[in-house]
Structure 1
Amino acid sequence: MWIVAIVVIVGLLFYIFYIQRQIRLMNIQLSQRLHEQYTQPISVELVNKEINQLVANINRILIESQKSRSYIKREEKYYKEMISNISHDFRTPLTAIKGYQQMLLKEPLTEKQLAKLGVAQKHVGRLEQLLATFFEYSYLHSNEDQPKKDRINISNIVFEEIAGAFAQFEQQGIAVTLPNYEPLIINSDEEMLLRIVQNLVRNSIMHAQGDVTIKMWLEEEHAYICFQNPIDENIQLNPNQLFDRFYTTDNSRRKNTGLGLSIVKLLTEKLGGNVAAKIENGMIEFLVCLKKNL
């Protein structure tokens, strides 16, 4: 009898080992599907009804998941093409409107007519800017291209953008304080960093209620860009929602789509960093943290 018992125990141990081996193989196949674009169905070599049924259900789920991914990719391609077409469709009539406005300026107009034309031109310019921001956000949100790695001087990008926006800051009565020039070199995507700074500058021009202070510095593994300015104390802002799409307040809705800061967040995260906002003593601070080496 003891011989039979030993044979049964050995058989059970072998069966348990065999099941563990098959489960291990299943895990390997699932990992391949997750990380190596492996598309073959999961397979096992077991004569076990329950485990075979489990594998069959896993394969059904994987097939449906593959179909969903394929559908999403097709939709993303369609979405990009649609955005491009809509962008062209909007720009064509806008260009025509601006052209006719320029032609009207050459006509003999009264002061009242010139004033009305100036208002129309201002609104067309604003619409053009809103559309550009919307299309930029839509493209960036659907674009899966990996960031490029370039050697970048953050100081140059910030100083050049502030210099380019000097007339707009002056028109709003805003002075900009910058730190003494010091090269701050990182390895990151120059185009993405430029767009981050452009949107922070644009946000300051539109919403700052006083002078803007900009700080930049490097630490061991990260680079920081900080924009600070006074805000209107009558407007209730939630710093945790400022980077949400289309977030606005009632008082600022007329001049803000809420997309500029969303673009900042989106690009910062693409560069492996993060951005945060803080409100304290009537001042708002936007702090962008980026990796020194992407």
Structure 2
Amino acid sequence: MIALAVILGVLWFLTAAYLVIVLRQIRAVRRQLERQRGEGAHSSVTLSLVVPQLESLAAQVNETVRQAQAASTRTRVEERRIRSFIADISHDLRTPLTTVRGYLQLLERSTLDEEQRAQLAVAQRQTAELGTLVDRLYEYAYLLDAEPALDLEPVDVGVLIAECLLGMTAEIEGAGMEVDYDPPAALVVETDREKLTRIVQNLVRNAVQHGRELLRVQVQVLGAGDGLEIRVRNGVPPGTEIDAERLFERFYTADRSRSGRTSGLGLSIVQVLAEHLGGSVAAAQDREAGTVEIGVSIPRPTSG
């Protein structure tokens, strides 16, 4: 009886020791996976002791990691290929587009009747829109490949936005729209003036293109703590359902507010520029008010 008790005790001790070893190995695997996730790394999971079942699990985990790494590599290669293609095609389109514009200008100087001049005006308008698309394609591809080098300087954000709106007066009035903007007083941040200007221009242009339902664009600037936020709100057609999470995707035209002659690249460019400045973008639809608001948050490291 005593011998049996001793044997059971030994078996219990061995089982407990085995379970302790297994639990330690599981914790070790978990820590390795957490570390890899935090560092964004892809490396094999290792075990310090031999446990057959855990070895099999580790092999499966390592194979999954290897496949994920291979898929990530393929994605990066494909993304580079797409960016290169966009840059090349936009560059190749510029020469024939310039030629077309030249011939249209020559045609404008010739003797044309009223109907012919109306048709010429349509061709010139379509050519201008194509030129804008080509320029945005090239800009988007360039921004994705470019290093986010920043030329920081103190910028009065209220004044900069007012200047952008003034420079776009013809475009805004041509769309029959008005802008509500109350510039903040002495909101000075250290940032890249050129990148911030392009962000504002693209935000306003997007709102003008898609805000005709209310004929009004609202621009708001907020500065608090260590950040800066620019909000631009415009109207949308009644009943429009917008996938706000996809508004910043390139070429997204899944709803009526992003369809027609627009390329869907303006907000994608805004997102890339905001990320260059260390910021972020967001979008929200207010269905009751019939509006969409685009927000750009940019860090403010220093103020003056």
Tell me the TM-score normalised to structure 1 length: 0.78
Aligned to 1:19: 22
1-side partners of 2:50 and 2:148: how far apart? 46
Q: Using a 3 Å threshold, how does the CA distance of structure 1 residues 5 and 14 change in structure 2: closer, same or farther? A: same
1:58 matched to 2:61? yes
2-side partners of 1:92 and 1:157: how far apart? 34
Match of 2:88 among 73, 85, 89: 85
Aligned to 2:266: 260
1:224 matched to 2:229? yes
Q: Using a 3 Å threshold, how does the CA distance of structure 1 residues 189 and 27 change in structure 2: closer, same or farther? A: farther
Letter in 1 for 2:260: R
Aligned to 2:283: 275
Q: Using a 3 Å threshold, how does the CA distance of structure 1 residues 262 and 238 change in structure 2: closer, same or farther? A: farther
Aligned to 1:109: 111
Which deviates more from structure 2 when the two are superposed, residues 221-230 or residues 176-185? 221-230
1:178 matched to 2:181? yes
Letter in 1 for 2:223: L
2-side partners of 1:273 and 1:147: how far apart? 20
Q: How does 1:82-231 map to 2 (within 5 A)?
A: 82-106=85-109, 108-112=110-114, 113-134=116-137, 136=139, 150=152, 152-186=155-189, 193-206=196-209, 207-208=211-212, 209-220=214-225, 222-228=227-233
Q: Give the gaps of 5 or more residues in structure 2.
A: none
Letter in 1 for 2:255: T
Aligned to 1:76: 79
Q: SS of 1:41's equivalent?
A: coil
Shift of 1:125: 0.2
1:246 matched to 2:253? yes
Shift of 1:33: 3.3
Contact 1:196 1:264 in 2 (8 A): yes
Shift of 1:215: 2.4
Q: CA RMSD in A?
A: 3.6
Which deviates more from structure 2 when the two are superposed, residues 85-94 or residues 145-154? 145-154
Contact 2:242 2:255 in 1 (8 A): no
Contact 1:153 1:184 in 2 (8 A): yes
Letter in 1 for 2:217: V
1-side partners of 2:291 and 2:102: how far apart? 40
Provide, for residues 212-254 of structure 1, a one-character-per-residue CA deviation record: whole Å limited to 9, x for no partner.
34222224465333334566x6x5322545827113329x843
The number of aligned residues is 288
Of all paired residues, the percent bearing the same amino acid is 26
Contact 1:188 1:271 in 2 (8 A): no
Q: Using a 3 Å threshold, how does the CA distance of structure 1 residues 121 and 265 change in structure 2: closer, same or farther? A: same
Q: Using a 3 Å threshold, how does the CA distance of structure 1 residues 111 and 265 change in structure 2: closer, same or farther? A: same
Q: Using a 3 Å threshold, how does the CA distance of structure 1 residues 268 and 38 change in structure 2: closer, same or farther? A: closer
Q: Using a 3 Å threshold, how does the CA distance of structure 1 residues 177 and 48 change in structure 2: closer, same or farther? A: closer
Q: Give the gaps of 5 or more residues in structure 1.
A: none
Contact 1:239 1:278 in 2 (8 A): no
